[in-house]
Structure 1
Amino acid sequence: MKTRLPLILVLLIMTFGYTQNIPTVKVKDKPLGLTSLDIKVDVVGNIATTTYDMLFYNPTKNVLEGELSFPLGEGHDVSRFALDVNGKLREAVVVDKELGRIAFEQVVRRRVDPALLEKGTGNNYKARIYPIPATGHKRVVLAYEQELVYRKGDHFYNLPLGFKNVLEHFSLEITVFDQKSKPIIAEGQISGLEFSTWNKNYSTKVIKKNFKANKNILIKIPVPINSEKTLTYDNYFYIYKTLNPKKRLRAKPKDIALFWDASLSMKDRDIKKETEVLDNYFKHLNNVTVHYVSFSNVVIHDEQFEIVNGAWDDLRKVIIETIYDGGTNYDIIYNRKNNVDSKLLFSEGITSLSTTSLDLSKPLFIVNSLTKSNHSALNHLAESSNGAYLNLNTKSNEDVMASLKYENYKFLGYESQSKNLEVYPKAPVSVTNDFSISGKYLKNNETIRLNFGYGNQVQESIAISIDKSNNQSDQVRRIWAQKKLDHLEIDSKANKNQIKKHGVLYDLVSDYTSLIVLENVMDYITYRITPPDELKDEYNALLARIESEKSKRYESAHQGFLESPLMLNAGDETQFEMDSEIVEVEEMEVVGNVHQFGILASEVSDEVVETEDRAYIPSNNITRYEEQIPFVTIEKSPVFPGCQGNNEALKKCLSENVSNHVRDKFNLELANDLGLSGRQRVSVLFDITAEGEIGDIRVRSPHPDITDEIMRVIRLLPKMKPGEQRGKPVDVRYSLPIMFELKGERGSIAIDTSIVVSVIDYKKYSGKLEVRDRKVKAEYISQLKHANNKDEAYLLYLKQRNNYLDVPAYYIDVSNYFQNRFKDHKYSSIIASNIAETDFDNYELLKVYGYHLQENKYDGLALFIFKRILDLRPEDSQSYRDLALAYEAVGKCQRALDLYNDIITGKIYENAYRRIFKGVALIAENEIKHLIKKYRNDLDLSRVDKRLLDEVVYDVRVVVDWNHNDTDIDLHVIDPNLEECFYKHTSTNIGGHISPDMTQGFGPEEFTLINAIKGDYYIKIKYYGDRYQKEENPTFMKVTMYKNYGTKNEEKKITIIRLTKKDNEEMIAKLSI
């Protein structure tokens, strides 16, 4: 005889039994095999903490990189993350989100492999897992907390187990604390899994070998109606109470608006569950007018339907036939259908093209069937309108209908004699059949009174006495902290600073805090990140020693800062340039640079600042941009210790000593160990600063370890007497070509020691002057050409799309095709907006979309995208410039001016760990001057240095920037005289000038020319590469070309260009004067 499950359990399993997936590590979108799994579950009140201890196996002979990515459901929060580091489990610690990214990325640049777990949009969590050793294991520990579903006298806990393969080891331990009645395993019984009581708790544990865990487990935990639990810890308390409120019917609406989200991210919605909600609701309403609007980035369908006797076949057909495509924009429905009795919104709340703001003048009921969703925002919208958020993954049809039919029963506040209580949640808040509250600073043996009711009228008042000596649990502190965080994140941006402090203090992952694992204690010291317990003693001892050394260094004038362990760490990251083709340097070129306005970062702060070119923070002592041109001759050369004679003799002596130093110190055996056979070339640039120190070392080499070795050797050069120009010490830049060759076990190293002391004549460009045809020749475009009209082409695109869902280049190409072939804007805009919809947390993808919008003059939407990028990447100076340009494009010129000014003055570097890119500041000078000239009378210039009020006018100006971080692209411009202006030849005879070379970050680089001669100016780029090198995720570059910049006849053109590994060097545009 078969055992039948009670109907309520069947409904519960259907409702939420499969909503939460087990965390997995994927390598190239394929799950990595799991060999061992230990699961531990602790339940306190209505809070369950689930910990997965996982051992992944790499069967290949290669070291692999994987990604841990998983969305958590409503009320779920990550509470722990740990990895094995050098064979030992290393716990992650909570860190400010921006600092975590900076530390993570800078350590990665050093070829060390930390881990960073971040919370993204839709309660989605991601972490890079590396290294996963060849034919070896990687241990990952992850824990999350969740609120349990309560229904008809029971809590329900669901554990998803859907493994197809056999696990070598499996264990499961579940403990329900302070539980009076025995929990029941309602579904997914495992032999030996049986609860037993111990010290007011119930627990169970099983251990299995060679076990196939392929059935979900559903635990029913009896919680009688009108029961309550009270837990305390120190001065924190937690109360859980079940309720049985008297229900009050809502008035039936006669007129409703139904907004149906048809964006791409909704394509996997549970249409069956969602239409069942409508079916039940229309039966309840019987007769109602429905104003139906489907939307994505545009309104797709707008039609009125009359529902008679609950029949809605016509509307159902329209909904079932919905095509899901495009981004999500709530702005386009904000002012629609506001003269109705109530509104329904079917959406997951991830708005990729707008904020989540909606008109809340009428009750708003939000229905959602997806796990990856913006649950917090949806709850807040519904609560603020006196509606309800109906999460179909946690609510049954019965619960949903109750929320639609009955008024919201609410917690209205509390009464207590304690004046300093800090209690969460804050009233009023809707409740159903259970409620939990947590507070801080309650006096012992005090009674707190909880008030509930409808509207502002108290219907029920419950008094609960709290005795701190009973039911102690250290989890109460965390429960209170999480509830406070939930409250702060209702308005996350306004409470940003509070959230960061609160998250770090209470070890909570939030919108502005993350979990990080670093390899060694020096990394924690470098960024002042408190390490896990096992490293704290070493951390504190080293930190005390560093602080002591710092005090000593301040007492001696020129020593110290470069010797600081912090600066040495930063130097490793600062100077690294991407491996690239080596450009042969035929002579050792000496160039002296005028000091640019500003001061050295080391004079401002002893914190680590990663720099591009010379580290400086601009001040208001401003030099004109045109005066930044370096000298090509030096009056007095730097003097190597022991060198004597006239200037020529000193130069020769310097060259010989530097060359001999490199020959003596360079470890040729390293090249042999790396298998670098044959002739190898290395290009080195370094400064002998105005203080006589070695600085700004840049290396291009055939291998990262060679780069590190060369940098080590150059750093060992002794302090020298600085070079002079006009009687003042100046920085002198040297280029040092090195060539080494291995033959068998022996090797040789050659260094060119010649020095140029006069003006260097340029060589006329002799390459082909022809702009490359950049027509897309992809197969998907060829297929689209068979369509006779745009509607046929769109249907064909929908079929193609499944093969390119995560390929941004596909959406750009197809969008451009619709625009160019059919002159269509609707389909074109829908298709392109999928880039933002694909991953709203990927700033590099959003940059591509922002560039595309600017190219096509969608400046309003571009502004929203660049605001989002700044939210995601406040550590990148380029984010501020991008946003300033976007503000200027929509006429918000004061905001643009303030951002430009913050870049120039260095205000954006107030966080001392941010990388400084001085090239951005120099380019921003031109842009702020340009803005002031055009809109001077509309701007408040009180914060702007007077020297920036000078006009700037160029006959030709070209700016390039790109979307991928840590990418090296060089801008070259060839003038009509065939003189090529680029990073090695920065000034031309006709006055052309190239801004400082940007070898990291996103650019920009700029060419300017005040007085152009007639003829053609060819724009060329050299693309050395980036960390991607994938066809499906190429680097996109924005090229902005101006004629008559800063005049009334100004012409501007934006072009977006895709770069791939094969695009090493190419002519991308031509500008004719």
Structure 2
Amino acid sequence: MISAFRLTCLFLFTTAAAMAQMPVMKIKSPDAGQSVILSSLKVDVQVTGNIATTVMTMQFRNNSNRVLEGELTFPLPEGVTVSRYALDINGRMREAVPVEKAKATETFESIEQRRVDPGLLEKTEGNNFRTRVYPLPPNGIRTILIGYEEELKGQRYHLPLDYKESIPSFDLKATVWESLAKPELEEKPDGSFAFRNTSGHTYIADIHKTNFQPGNALTIHLPKQADMVESLLQKAGSSYYFLVNAYPKAQSRPRNWGNHIGLIWDVSLSGLKRDTKKELALLDEIIGEKQNLTISLGLLNNRFTPAGTFTITKGDWSALKKVLENVVYDGGTNLSAARPFAVDEYLLFSDGLSSFGAPDMKLFKPVHCITSAPRADYSNLKLAAAQSGGQFINLQTLSVKNAAEQLNKEVLHLIGIRQNSALREVYPSLPVPLDGHVSIAGITDDAAASVTLLYGYRPGAVASEQTVQLKTGEPTMVNVHRIWAQKKIAEMDVRYEQHKEEISQLSRQFGIVTRNTSLIVLETVHDYVRYDIAPPAELREEYDRLVKQQLIAKETKVNDLLQKAVTMATELKSWWNQAFKPAKSGKHFPHPDSVVIVGNGNHVMRETAQLRRQQNAAAAEMKMEESVAASVAAPRAEREASADRLADQVMIRGVASGYINTDKTKDRQKVAIETAAFKSDQVYMKGLEGATPAAAYQHYLSQRDAYSTTPRFYFDIASWFYEANRKDTALTILSSIAELDQENAELYKMMAYKLKENKQYEEEIFVTRKILEWRPMDPQSYRDYALALEDGCYYQQALDTLYSTLLQSYTREASQRDAGIEEIIITEINHLITLHKRRLNLAKIDKRLIASMPVEVRVVINWNKKNTDIDLWITDPSGEKCFYSNPRTEAGGRISNDFTDGYGPEQFILKKALKGRYTIETNFFGESQVTITGPTTVMAEIYTRYAGGEENRKVITMQMPAAGKEGVFIGAFSF
């Protein structure tokens, strides 16, 4: 088994003024201690002009005697992205190749099922990356290589080296090519690190240390003369990529602030990571410049709260400052919740990561977007500023003084280039403020062409221009093409939805990680062939030979689930129309689980979930394939006639006339549903019993530092507030889970379940839509989103989305894992049609699926984690238990296929209920993964008289106890 690196590396390389953040390996085993260390770090930095290429090679040693799993996180600044990733395979480094993100994730998870783990590097929302590292072999070493190009700003290169422990082997080398002046070291890790002139205008500095803890970061200043220009050319066939750097003298004119400013302060949980001291210092500079003004304050997290209007005279803003210094940071971020004030312009202090709502703001006045966060959505902040006529300020790369100067003045911008037929695809094409430096990149067929830069204070009004002659002579070996691609992608990313296909194509071509393209490493050339992924150069010859000779079958996807669904619909109709007559006497007793007798019989071992998983998957696949084959072989005329008969049934008030229950519905009483009471025995819950909501919230804040990264902490406390009927406070605390990790579907599912339980449907719709965006390879993603739409009364969209679940293509592994989900989908499609037919257009729905099948009992369980095995148990009044070993009861109860590997769901339905009490339980076999999500979260939906008159639903969400816990009580009801 090779090492699996699900690399979503969080890079952040900031200026010397910003707080340094370095790679951190977090081990998921709580008792691992300091078992894993960074045993070797090699950094190679090469600077040509204003382009720096950084390659970091890291070796991690596991000093324990067991396999461990970790997560590697380390932070890239604005406009920079990973372009190289490699890891060791059988002792040799193998380069990654670019793949469309969804395909990369599918491939990764399919290979995981074979216990062979690939490496995957992907980007999450904002300019952020993260990683899973598994396995870290006992007493072994894994090696990771990361590379990226960046365009230097302010003529400075910065590499943080903030390591808390010494590194056994440390190597650092920096080379500056073709520099007219000797580079200056503003910070260096060791006193011996110094540049020396090796030849011409090339400067090199390097050190090798053992057991070394760097004292400082590496910050290189590259002196440039004012008004100088540089150009680089990289040959590409008959064309050239070019990069022009200009260092014009900064020009500006005073800017008049409005008299009334709206201040929007992001108080979501991630605000704790912002440099608020720096933000307050910038605000002080702005107010000091204006002196007399009015500021209306709005606090923004998962909701927007007006927090007063402050009249400031002679620069005294102490009252406002006191409010800002004492705000509580809590909850997720919903930028779209911001509401306009009657102001002249806005200041927004935020990281721009809208974790719990849409990212767009409608404020109708200029919005100046300011961030000091180590992780931020730069594209979103830039878009908000550009669309409104405001400015974007990054306090990670600007000092407070420079930021204030930029805001207090109208600065000269690069507003474009003069039209030239020799130039094409020149970026940026949008106005860019001058901060002592500006650069453009493009393509030309003429190496001797010239570029005329146009400067102005506003688009279309040219104040000055500068002509640059492209550099003739020998083209550079610097990756100018990737700098060009990064500039083009960055501009398109501002309007991502409009350009996502082109971004994906460009990022794959140039090997750049974007939000929809990843880098992947596979173990063998056979895997590259099987999953139709072009390998790195070292494997290309063998790959081409295997493909040409067709020696390896490519992975085939299941095109859709429709035919299986049609077969399942026929089975469900047959079941529904069957008359069940349970025996009136006699009690049913629990069915024993399968057992294996070991040795002399004194030790009895329960069958393993793995064995049951294999047996169920094989049986389900065989049964379904046989049914599909039989259905396809049926005479066409017979199938069409059957479909026509179903479609011709007359619907009355949403219930098919042929299926109306003969009971007198007006005489029936609503069935009361009992659910398990919320309880948590965690330490942080002590002190909440009997507390007032205000005291309980303070208790929550007092405990938060100790549990700040624990999802269950927020889930449990939010549950307490929901029980206390404080839904607003509960929602804020629950939404904090969205701030704990980037693009974590398990965390979002946890929130979605709780939102459904508490009827917060608009929020449920947003959360499930994000899950679908991240995981379009799972049928559960479509289903969850569809059911959230139904909760929100978007019935047509719900039906279309639910039906689309059956039309997607899935990997064979996913299809086998989720075999039988069609039964649940069909039930839910017909529920929508039965209740809301008059509001729906059914033209696209296969008629063979449609049949109103109301039932008196329906229970569904869902869970939020893969590789998890949870069983649904329903015990009826006679004592008979319906579960995976007894899927059909004498009373007519049926349970859907036993899901042992995925997200579920599992469903129990019963057409005609027996009189008496029904109990609902789960059996938690366990899970085969360890994640930051914590315990598995289960949501149970309990219905009585489903799809019929007087339907009643109760939803309960709870976290599972330790694996192997049988008979966890969920709920009960009596007919």
Question: TM-score with structure 1 length normalisation?
Answer: 0.78
Shift of 1:1020: 2.5
Which residue in 2 is equivalent to 1:121? Answer: 125
SS state at 2:515 partner = coil
SS state at 1:495 partner = helix
Kindly provide the CA deviation profile for residues 513-540 of structure 1, in whole angstroms up to 9, marking residues without a partner as x: 1122222222222211122222222222
SS state at 1:700 partner = helix
Separation in structure 2 between the aligned mates of residue 1013 and residue 873 of structure 1, nearest angstrom: 41
Separation in structure 2 between the aligned mates of residue 725 and residue 865 of structure 1, nearest angstrom: 40
Whether the aligned pair in 1 keeps the contact of 2:22 and 2:75 (CA below 8 Å) is: no
Which residue in 2 is equivalent to 1:866? Answer: 768
Shift of 1:452: 1.8
Whether the aligned pair in 2 keeps the contact of 1:17 and 1:158 (CA below 8 Å) is: no
Whether the aligned pair in 1 keeps the contact of 2:565 and 2:826 (CA below 8 Å) is: no
Summarize the Cα distance change of 1:473–1:276 in structure 2 as closer, same or farther, 3 Å threshold. same
Whether the aligned pair in 1 keeps the contact of 2:258 and 2:344 (CA below 8 Å) is: yes
Whether the aligned pair in 1 keeps the contact of 2:489 and 2:503 (CA below 8 Å) is: yes
SS state at 1:237 partner = strand
Specify the structure having the higher radius of gyration (Cα): 1
Which residue in 2 is equivalent to 1:984? Answer: 885
> What is the aligned counterpart of 2:352 among 349, 353, 361?
349
Does residue 956 of the first structure (1) align with residue 857 of the second (2)? yes
Q: How does 1:125-140 map to 2 (within 5 A)?
A: 125-140=129-144
Which residue in 2 is equivalent to 1:747? Answer: none
Letter in 2 for 1:776: S
Shift of 1:345: 0.8
Q: How does 1:512-591 map to 2 (within 5 A)?
A: 512-546=516-550, 565-566=553-554
Whether the aligned pair in 2 keeps the contact of 1:228 and 1:240 (CA below 8 Å) is: yes
Summarize the Cα distance change of 1:777–1:239 in structure 2 as closer, same or farther, 3 Å threshold. same
Letter in 2 for 1:266: G
> What is the aligned counterpart of 1:783 among 678, 687, 691?
687
Separation in structure 2 between the aligned mates of residue 617 and residue 711 of structure 1, nearest angstrom: 18
Separation in structure 2 between the aligned mates of residue 467 and residue 1029 of structure 1, nearest angstrom: 55
Shift of 1:863: 0.5
Which residue in 1 is equivalent to 2:82? Answer: 78
Q: How does 1:208-219 map to 2 (within 5 A)?
A: 208-219=209-220
Shift of 1:293: 1.3
Summarize the Cα distance change of 1:192–1:677 in structure 2 as closer, same or farther, 3 Å threshold. farther
Whether the aligned pair in 1 keeps the contact of 2:158 and 2:219 (CA below 8 Å) is: yes
Does residue 332 of the first structure (1) align with residue 337 of the second (2)? yes
Whether the aligned pair in 1 keeps the contact of 2:265 and 2:300 (CA below 8 Å) is: yes
SS state at 2:253 partner = coil
Which residue in 1 is equivalent to 2:695? Answer: 792
Which segment is superposed worse, 855-864 or 426-435?
426-435
Letter in 1 for 2:715: I
Summarize the Cα distance change of 1:817–1:224 in structure 2 as closer, same or farther, 3 Å threshold. same
> What is the aligned counterpart of 1:909 among 809, 826, 831?
809
Which residue in 2 is equivalent to 1:177? Answer: 177
Which residue in 1 is equivalent to 2:53? Answer: 49
Q: How does 1:7-18 map to 2 (within 5 A)?
A: 16-18=16-18
Whether the aligned pair in 2 keeps the contact of 1:249 and 1:407 (CA below 8 Å) is: yes
Kindly provide the CA deviation profile for residues 892-927 of structure 1, in whole angstroms up to 9, marking residues without a partner as x: 1121111112123x2x21788864634333212221
Kindly provide the CA deviation profile for residues 1044-1073 of structure 1, in whole angstroms up to 9, marking residues without a partner as x: 111241111111121122533333211222
> What is the aligned counterpart of 1:391 among 389, 394, 411?
394
Letter in 2 for 1:444: A
Question: TM-score with structure 2 length normalisation?
Answer: 0.85
Which residue in 2 is equivalent to 1:382? Answer: 385
Separation in structure 2 between the aligned mates of residue 165 and residue 838 of structure 1, nearest angstrom: 26
Which residue in 2 is equivalent to 1:820? Answer: 723
Letter in 2 for 1:624: T
Which residue in 2 is equivalent to 1:247? Answer: 252
Which residue in 1 is equivalent to 2:442? Answer: 439
Separation in structure 2 between the aligned mates of residue 59 and residue 437 of structure 1, nearest angstrom: 49
Structure 1 unaligned regions, length at least 5: 1-12, 550-563, 567-605, 633-670, 685-697, 702-706, 730-769
Shift of 1:144: 2.8
Shift of 1:198: 3.1
Does residue 228 of the first structure (1) align with residue 229 of the second (2)? yes
Shift of 1:812: 2.0
Shift of 1:55: 2.1
Q: How does 1:216-365 map to 2 (within 5 A)?
A: 216-234=217-235, 235=239, 236-300=241-305, 302-333=307-338, 335-337=339-341, 339-359=342-362, 361-365=364-368
Separation in structure 1 between the aligned mates of residue 631 and residue 365 of structure 2, nearest angstrom: 75
Which residue in 2 is equivalent to 1:607? Answer: 556
Whether the aligned pair in 2 keeps the contact of 1:965 and 1:1000 (CA below 8 Å) is: yes
Kindly provide the CA deviation profile for residues 986-1030 of structure 1, in whole angstroms up to 9, marking residues without a partner as x: 322322222222222211111112222322222222221112478
Letter in 2 for 1:148: L
Does residue 1064 of the first structure (1) align with residue 969 of the second (2)? no
SS state at 2:477 partner = coil
Whether the aligned pair in 2 keeps the contact of 1:1021 and 1:1067 (CA below 8 Å) is: yes
SS state at 2:684 partner = helix
Shift of 1:473: 2.6
Which residue in 2 is equivalent to 1:664? Answer: none
Summarize the Cα distance change of 1:1049–1:212 in structure 2 as closer, same or farther, 3 Å threshold. closer
Separation in structure 1 between the aligned mates of residue 187 and residue 161 of structure 2, nearest angstrom: 12
Kindly provide the CA deviation profile for residues 929-988 of structure 1, in whole angstroms up to 9, marking residues without a partner as x: 221222223222221122344323111111111111122222222222323222333322
Separation in structure 1 between the aligned mates of residue 431 and residue 933 of structure 2, nearest angstrom: 49
Summarize the Cα distance change of 1:804–1:610 in structure 2 as closer, same or farther, 3 Å threshold. farther
Summarize the Cα distance change of 1:381–1:410 in structure 2 as closer, same or farther, 3 Å threshold. same
Separation in structure 1 between the aligned mates of residue 303 and residue 632 of structure 2, nearest angstrom: 66
Shift of 1:831: 1.2
Letter in 1 for 2:56: Y
Letter in 2 for 1:464: V
Does residue 928 of the first structure (1) align with residue 832 of the second (2)? no
Which residue in 2 is equivalent to 1:699? Answer: 611
SS state at 1:839 partner = coil
Kindly provide the CA deviation profile for residues 79-132 of structure 1, in whole angstroms up to 9, marking residues without a partner as x: 222222222112222221111111212222222232222211232211222332
Which segment is superposed worse, 166-175 or 267-276?
166-175
SS state at 2:680 partner = coil
Letter in 1 for 2:223: P
Whether the aligned pair in 2 keeps the contact of 1:72 and 1:371 (CA below 8 Å) is: no
Separation in structure 1 between the aligned mates of residue 632 and residue 277 of structure 2, nearest angstrom: 82
Whether the aligned pair in 2 keeps the contact of 1:20 and 1:73 (CA below 8 Å) is: no
Shift of 1:300: 4.3
Whether the aligned pair in 1 keeps the contact of 2:268 and 2:333 (CA below 8 Å) is: yes
Structure 2 unaligned regions, length at least 5: 1-12, 579-597, 635-673
SS state at 2:379 partner = helix
Shift of 1:890: 1.3
Which residue in 1 is equivalent to 2:752? Answer: 850
Kindly provide the CA deviation profile for residues 735-764 of structure 1, in whole angstroms up to 9, marking residues without a partner as x: xxxxxxxxxxxxxxxxxxxxxxxxxxxxxx
Q: How many residues align?
A: 891
Summarize the Cα distance change of 1:728–1:136 in structure 2 as closer, same or farther, 3 Å threshold. closer
SS state at 1:957 partner = strand
Separation in structure 2 between the aligned mates of residue 55 and residue 1029 of structure 1, nearest angstrom: 23
Which segment is superposed worse, 411-420 or 233-242?
411-420
Which residue in 2 is equivalent to 1:26? Answer: 26
SS state at 1:930 partner = helix
Summarize the Cα distance change of 1:910–1:424 in structure 2 as closer, same or farther, 3 Å threshold. farther
Shift of 1:68: 1.2
Letter in 2 for 1:249: P
Shift of 1:260: 0.8
Letter in 2 for 1:791: A
Shift of 1:416: 3.9
> What is the aligned counterpart of 2:65 among 61, 65, 83?
61
Identity score, percent? 34
Kindly provide the CA deviation profile for residues 392-433 of structure 1, in whole angstroms up to 9, marking residues without a partner as x: 111012211122111243322223432771122122333332
